[in-house]
């Protein structure tokens, strides 16, 4: 009787979740502007160099191909506007980075069929992760650091690298239909640049339909600030896909993270890494800790049965960070979430970490924590579904291994056949 009742509950849960999983079909909003084979794309050679210091409003038009070389700064409240369809080739011999300083603004609004592209200036088939630096946007939003301000890491001019302030509603930048390919240049043995670095940005900042591909470090990283962003793609980065710290508060909706099981930073890489605060000896009060709400996400590692020894958790939460994940699909990882020792008991976990109505395909336990006494699956993963056994990506998704036009839509029939009988930590 008990088994029949449990199967009935599973059936009801499956029926209730199926329409929701249909909403995380990334193929609909990915169509047109994305490129999953950027190394084969034949971009025209650059014919116009962008000045290294932009102190007045400047428009980049789509009838030119631009070269971004060295550190290029947008300063003095200037606005850099980029037209739809504009191509910016980024120098690898004098590694390029675009830095938008506090008070300045980047307006890069592409369209579905005319995306704006930042890419390596190497020829076809020779582009590599870390060919150039990345895009750094500095705002006047709030941080939870002691002083409320900080300098962005990198070999940047100190006078243009400060961020943070007391303007939480600032419109720091607008990026729509933008691709960032092969960024993340290595500065030294311990520091690399991110694809898109967002420091102290305001809530009126817009990020929609932005794809970062083959970054040598994080694809997206937020240092403080706030905002609600959607339709973001991180494709085969070396380090984290979405990294959060310094008290960022906001949401990511309709995001896609695609990882390769054999590509990782030496310190460990995650689809989402969130820290409650920086490692500077100062701990802010709970209301100022980083908080992230994730909805309709697909976090997938393309691991199969043979590569399971190389995979880790999908999400890393540290320093009392707070995160909520719902109506999402997480597959190909060892664990759903890894917690550090800052979460000292089950009550703290339940108050800080939330998973509701998600689909999981993991090879080990759902929760990986340094405090072994806090494994309490009931009430933590009780409204989520695990597969019976670890499945290869092609068993669960429509076309996850297609390099040209991948589809990460869950196969409803396979999902139904692979439902576990125990909705708990021990799947």
| Cα–Cα nearest to 180, from 254, 119, 127, 232 | 119
DSSP string over 260-319: -TT---TT---SEEEESS-SSS----GGGS-EEEEEEEEEEE---GGGGGG--EEEEEET
pLDDT of residue 268: 79
Q: What is the pLDDT of residue 166?
A: 94
User: Tell me, what's the pLDDT at 191?
Assistant: 75
Burial profile 98-125: b = 16 or more Cβ within 10 angstroms, e = fewer: bbbbbbbbbbbbbeeebbbbbbbbbeee
Q: pLDDT value at position 25? A: 55
CA distance 14 to 412: 10
What pLDDT shows up at residue 20?
41
The token pair at 384 is: 């989520």
**Confidence (pTM):** 0.91
Give the residue carrying structure tokens 């390919």. Answer: 181
Neighbours of 190 (CB within 10 A): 8
pLDDT of the residue at 282: 81
CA distance linking residue 9 with residue 47, whole number of Å: 63
For residue 121, the surrounding DSSP H or E stretch is none
Q: Which residues of the chain are under the pLDDT cut of 50?
A: 1-24, 372-377, 421-427
Quote the pLDDT of residue 279.
75
In CATH, the number for domain 2-417 is 2.160.20
Tokens of residue 273, six digits = 């890494």
- Segment 2-49, tens digit of pLDDT: 334 334 344 434 444 443 443 345 568 998 999 999 999 999 999 999
What pLDDT is recorded for position 190? 62
pLDDT in tens, 341-382: 999 888 888 889 999 999 999 999 888 886 544 444 455 788
């Amino acid at each position: 009787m008990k088994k029949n009742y449990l199967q009935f509950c599973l059936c009801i849960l499956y029926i209730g979740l199926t329409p929701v999983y249909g909403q995380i079909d990334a193929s609909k909003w990915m169509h047109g502007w994305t490129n999953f084979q950027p190394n084969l794309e034949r971009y025209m050679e650059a014919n116009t160099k962008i000045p290294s210091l932009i102190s007045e409003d400047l428009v980049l038009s789509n009838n030119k191909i631009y070269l971004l070389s060295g550190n290029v700064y947008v300063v003095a409240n200037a606005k850099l506007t980029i037209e739809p369809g504009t191509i910016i080739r980024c120098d690898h011999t004098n590694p390029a980075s675009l830095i938008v300083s506090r008070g300045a603004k980047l307006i890069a609004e592409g369209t579905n069929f005319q995306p704006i592209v930042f890419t390596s200036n190497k020829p076809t088939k020779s582009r590599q992760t870390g060919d150039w630096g990345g895009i750094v946007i500095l705002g006047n939003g709030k941080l939870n650091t002691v002083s409320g301000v900080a300098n962005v890491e990198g070999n940047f001019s100190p006078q243009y690298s400060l961020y943070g302030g007391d303007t939480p509603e600032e419109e720091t930048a607008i990026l729509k239909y933008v691709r960032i390919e092969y960024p993340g240049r290595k500065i030294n043995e311990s520091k690399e640049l991110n694809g898109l670095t967002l420091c102290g940005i305001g809530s009126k900042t817009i990020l929609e339909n932005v794809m970062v591909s083959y970054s040598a470090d994080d694809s997206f990283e937020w240092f403080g600030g706030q905002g609600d962003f959607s339709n973001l793609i991180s494709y085969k980065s070396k380090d984290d896909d979405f990294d959060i710290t310094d008290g960022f508060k906001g949401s990511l909706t309709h995001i896609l993270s695609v990882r390769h099981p054999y590509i990782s930073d030496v310190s460990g890489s995650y689809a989402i890494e969130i820290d409650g605060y920086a490692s500077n000896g100062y701990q802010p009060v709970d209301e100022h800790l980083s908080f992230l709400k994730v909805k309709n996400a697909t976090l997938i590692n393309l691991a199969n049965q043979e590569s399971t020894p190389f995979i880790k958790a999908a999400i890393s939460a540290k320093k009392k960070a707070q995160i909520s994940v719902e109506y999402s699909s997480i597959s190909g990882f060892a664990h759903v979430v890894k917690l550090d020792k800052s979460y000292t008991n089950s009550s703290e976990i339940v108050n800080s970490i939330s998973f509701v109505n998600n689909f999981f395909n993991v090879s080990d336990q759902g929760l990986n924590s340094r405090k072994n006494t806090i494994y309490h699956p009931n009430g933590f993963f009780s409204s989520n579904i695990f597969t019976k056994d670890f499945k290869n990506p092609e068993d669960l998704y429509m076309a996850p291994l297609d390099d040209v036009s991948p589809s990460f839509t869950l196969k409803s029939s396979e999902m139904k056949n692979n439902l576990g009988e125990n909705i708990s930590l021990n799947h």
